[in-house]
Structure 1
C-alpha cells in the first residue's frame, strides 16, 4: 500500500512540474492600453491616409527565466480604427463588412530571434480569411517594460476585401499595418 501511495505522489509531482529541478516561470502579460496601438496606411492616387486603433488587446506568454516572449495573440476591433475622417471611416467599415467581420486577430505559432529582431510566425484572420504571416519586429527593454514594434504589408485582395474607390479609381491593393505594444514584466 505504501508503494502505491509513493508512486501516486511521485506521478502527481511529475505531472505538476515540481518533481525534479526548478520550474520555469511563465506568465501572461497584457499590453498597456494607454501606450499600445495598431494602425494601417492606405493610398489612393489622390491622397494617402492613416487610421489608428487604440482598442486593441494583445497578450503574450513571457518566460521570466529566459526573459523572452514565447507566444503572442492580438485582437483589434474593426470599428475602432479612426482616420479622423468619418466619411472615409464609414466607407472603410462598409468595404470591410465590419458587422459581419468585427475583429482582426493574429495568433503566433512560433517566435524566433534573428540578430536584434524578433520574428513572429503565425496566422492573421482578417475579413473572414486566415492566412499565414511572418512579421519581423523590434523589441526594446527598458527596466521592467518591454516594447514590441513593427510593420508588415497586407494585400486587401488576398483577404477578399472589395477595395473602395474615389472618382471611379480604387484604393491601392496593399496597405501597411504598423503596431506598437508595451508590456510590464513586474
Structure 2
C-alpha cells in the first residue's frame, strides 16, 4: 500500500514537468550530400524522409536517416552507393545525437540565429564528433534548423574503389534542413 501511494505521489508531482518539455519533431527532414569532382559526373544524393527530434528546453537533438532513403539522379549510382559504399544492408541508418550550445527558445525569432551544434555522427558503424554552426529560426510552432558540415568517407571506413576514386571527392559536403513542429 505504501509503495502504491509513493508511486501515485511521484507521478502526480513529476509527470507534469516531463510533459511540459518543449519537444519539436519531423519525419520529413532533408539531408543532401555532394561528393562531386570537377569534370566528372555529379555524385550527389538527397534524403527527404529524415526523422529528427529537438528538445527546446535543453537544446538536445537526435536525427535518424535511413541510408536507403538517399536518392541519386542515376539509378546505377544509387545501387552502387547502397551495395558497395554505404553497405545499407549491414549499416541501414545514420544517427546524429548532439545539442545546440547555449540554446534558449526565447532568443529565437523568425530571423535565423547562429548556434554551435556539437554531437556524434554514427555512420557505417563508426562514430565521429561533428561540430557545426547551425542556423535556427522559429515561426509559430515550427523551429527550422539548417546547416552544413564536411565529412571524409575514410573516417567512417567507407572505401572508394581505386577505379572510381578520382571521380569521388575525398571530402563530402553534407547539408541539412529540418522544419520541426511541436
Q: Distance in 1 between matches of 2:118 and 2:12?
A: 30
| TM-score, normalised with respect to structure 2 | 0.78
CA positional deviation for 1:152: 0.4
**Which residue among 150, 153, 163 is the counterpart of 2:150?**
153
CA positional deviation for 1:170: 4.7
Of Structure 1 and Structure 2, which has the larger fraction of its residues in strand? Answer: 1
CA positional deviation for 1:105: 0.5
**Which residue among 60, 75, 84 is the counterpart of 2:64?**
75
- Other-structure match for 1:27: 22
Is it true that 1:104 corresponds to 2:97 in the alignment?
no
- Other-structure match for 1:66: none
The verdict on how the C-alpha distance between 1:139 and 1:16 changes in structure 2, with shifts beyond 3 A counting, is same
**Which residue among 44, 54, 58 is the counterpart of 1:50?**
44
Q: SS of the residue aligned with 2:56?
A: strand
Q: Distance in 2 between matches of 1:37 and 1:167?
A: 27
Q: Distance in 2 between matches of 1:59 and 1:52?
A: 19
Of Structure 1 and Structure 2, which has the larger fraction of its residues in helix? Answer: 2
Conservation of the 8 A alpha-carbon contact between 1:39 and 1:177 = yes
The verdict on how the C-alpha distance between 1:174 and 1:15 changes in structure 2, with shifts beyond 3 A counting, is farther
Q: Distance in 1 between matches of 2:97 and 2:165?
A: 36
Structure 2 gap ranges (5+): 108-112
Q: Deviations over 1:146-178 (max 9, x none)?
A: 110000000111111112466663511100111
Give me the CA root mean square deviation.
Answer: 2.8
Structure 1 gap ranges (5+): 64-68
Is it true that 1:89 corresponds to 2:78 in the alignment?
yes
- Other-structure match for 2:33: 40
Structure of higher CA gyration radius = 1
| TM-score, normalised with respect to structure 1 | 0.77
CA positional deviation for 1:14: 10
